[in-house]
Copies of this chain bind each other. A is one copy, B any other.
Amino acid sequence: SRSLNLAVIPGDGIGQEVVAEGLKVLSAVLPQDVKLETKEFDFGARRYHATGETLTDADVDALKKHDAILLGAIGDPSVPSGVLERGFLLKLRFLFDHHVNLRPSKLLPGVATPLAGEPSIDFIVVREGTEGPYTGNGGTIRKGTEHEVATEVSVNTAFGVERVVRDAFARAQARPRKKLALIHKNNVLTFAGHLWTNVFNKVAEEFPDVTTEYMHVDAATIYLVTQPERFDVIVTDNLFGDIITDLAAAVSGGIGVAASGNINPSGDFPSMFEPVHGSAPDIAGQGKADPTATVLSVALLLRHLGYDAEAARIDEAVSADLAERTGKPARSTSEIGDALAVRVAG
């Protein structure tokens, strides 16, 4: 009999509520012979306030022992900006070498979009997850004085860029339209931009059936609202990926349905799956959060572990559920989770 050994990090705010529904749907969809074992971790604001810890070496060792990680949300206004982000979220992405940050955007039938007309949106963003301006390189001198200077260093390596570009080409090749766009700002950030562009063009030679284009990040935001159907697969740097995936989520149904995977394709460390939304403390504990993004993150998790049929059942259940929402009264977090669990089981 098979087993799925899952680390669960509910985290802060609505994290608890949405993760509970994610697990509900996961249990419902898994084949009988798969033994699901979950271990919950208490990372986040409460633990930080209680112990001052964000992620210890022992935590990292414990997390390593799992097949994958499901995360709700980390972050609370009571913690200074950057502490949990750098001390937990980014630390984990770097330690576990989550270099493929995968974020699909699909506008499903019946889902509202802020865009006029009926745009057809179905693309995935492959965001680099371990380099760029996210490395924490940089510093501050003369802090707090009128002569303060603060720097941030974006670090980009041929190794790091090539592996994520290669991953994106493979994903593009496996999709019907076989299109890949590189998004950067190579006319201004010429050092990093030329590295990205050269590596992209070199790898492109190995994928002659993939149609490529290059786009500056500023122009890309225009296309995302005026011609989102233009995109199939996008590959981009860590910071540009952060920005455009929030915009992509907004135009394709909102962050209530935006899923993401922090993937280490080598399998050396567990990959982590999480909704794109944050901890939303303003609505926490009220049963108002939409667990759909977490449930879709569970589908990404299953696909990553080879449970393709089960992942597809979740995607179908979510599509069907969303298609029936229009005009109905709002449901609670657990009502949505229940409905999805019934659909995937049925």
A residues in contact (CB < 8 Å) with B: 75, 81-82, 85-86, 90, 113-117, 133-134, 136-140, 142, 144-159, 162, 185-195, 197-198, 217-219, 221-222, 225-226, 239, 242-247, 249-251, 254-255
B225 touches A251 (CB 8 A): yes
Measured CA separation A245–B217 after assembly (Å): 11
Question: Which residues from B are CB-within-8-Å of A225?
Answer: 114-115, 225, 247, 250-251
Q: Please name all residues of chain B whose beta carbon is closer than 8 Å to the beta carbon of A191 when the two chains form the complex.
A: 138-140, 150-152
Q: Which residues of chain B have C-beta atoms less than 8 A from A90's C-beta?
A: 188
A247 to chain B: which residues have CB within 8 Å?
A: 218, 221-222, 225, 247
- Knowing A81-B187, A187-B81, A218-B246 are in contact, say whether A195-B140 is a contact too (CB < 8 A): yes
Whether B82 contacts A133 by the Cβ 8 Å rule is no
Of the candidates B114, B188, B192, B246, the one whose C-beta lies within 8 Å of that of A115 is B114
Q: Are B146 and A187 in contact (CB under 8 A)?
A: no
Judging by beta carbons under 8 Å apart, are A190 and B115 in contact? no
Structural contact, B242 and A185, CB atoms closer than 8 A: yes
6 contacts between A and B (CB under 8 A): A133-B133, A133-B154, A136-B190, A138-B192, A147-B158, A225-B250
Residues of B within 8 A of A255 (CB): 222
Within the complex, the shortest CB–CB distance from A234 to chain B, in Å, comes to: 15
